[in-house]
């Protein structure tokens, strides 16, 4: 039975083709929590899309003609595999979503804690190495997407084939030095 399950790969249960790290998959609903120990044993593995494997082999591979239409076609599968880029507005999570995420994180931790010597098991089963491979694929995909958007900008293409140069929804960070505690100056 274990040999038959050893080749299982997982896709996200939310219908999204976005690649998930083990930590993200473990918090992906009740199913993700239940599958957490199986990921630790390397019975279930994250499936890496071919576009990210290609990006790993050469993230700076020049596209054929470099036209705006071709760049858009090459960016589309990367956006599907990686999710929204940093210059796109992130969806704001409501309180229900945040509390659900917190509960699933706690449940995932409890499920993982049931396995004794989890870190050693992950090393010996190859799950840790596969997680590093997934992370490297995501990083290569991010680099590839940035490279293609840079080429799009040099060609004068319109977004989404170029970066928008506006970090959507970015908080303004006040970096002025302030005292840690309130100071009364009227004494």
Higher-confidence position of 43 and 27: 43
Confidence (pTM): 0.71
| Tokens coding 109 | 């931790």
pLDDT in tens, 94-110: 777 667 667 777 766 66
- Sign of dihedral through CA atoms 128, 133, 136, 137? negative
For 40: left if phi > 0, alpha if psi spans -120 to 50, otherwise beta; the answer is alpha
For 125-161, write each residue's pLDDT tens digit. 998 999 999 999 999 999 999 999 999 999 999 988 9
């Amino acid at each position: 039975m274990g040999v038959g399950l050893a080749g299982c790969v997982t896709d996200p249960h939310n219908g999204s083709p976005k690649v998930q790290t083990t930590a993200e998959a473990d918090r992906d609903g009740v199913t993700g929590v239940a599958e957490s120990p199986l990921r630790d044993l390397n019975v279930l593995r994250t499936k890496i899309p071919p576009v990210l494997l290609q990006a790993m082999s050469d993230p700076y591979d020049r596209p054929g003609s470099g036209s705006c239409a071709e760049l858009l076609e090459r960016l589309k599968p990367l956006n599907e595999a990686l999710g929204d880029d940093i210059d796109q507005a992130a969806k704001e999570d409501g309180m229900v979503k945040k509390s659900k995420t917190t509960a699933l994180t706690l449940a995932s931790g409890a499920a993982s804690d049931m396995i004794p010597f989890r870190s050693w098991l992950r090393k010996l089963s190859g799950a840790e190495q596969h997680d590093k491979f997934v992370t490297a694929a995501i990083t290569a995909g991010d680099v590839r997407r940035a490279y293609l958007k840079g080429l799009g900008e040099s060609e004068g293409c319109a977004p989404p084939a170029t970066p928008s140069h506006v970090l959507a929804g970015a908080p303004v960070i006040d970096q002025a030095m302030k005292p840690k505690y309130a100071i009364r100056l009227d004494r």
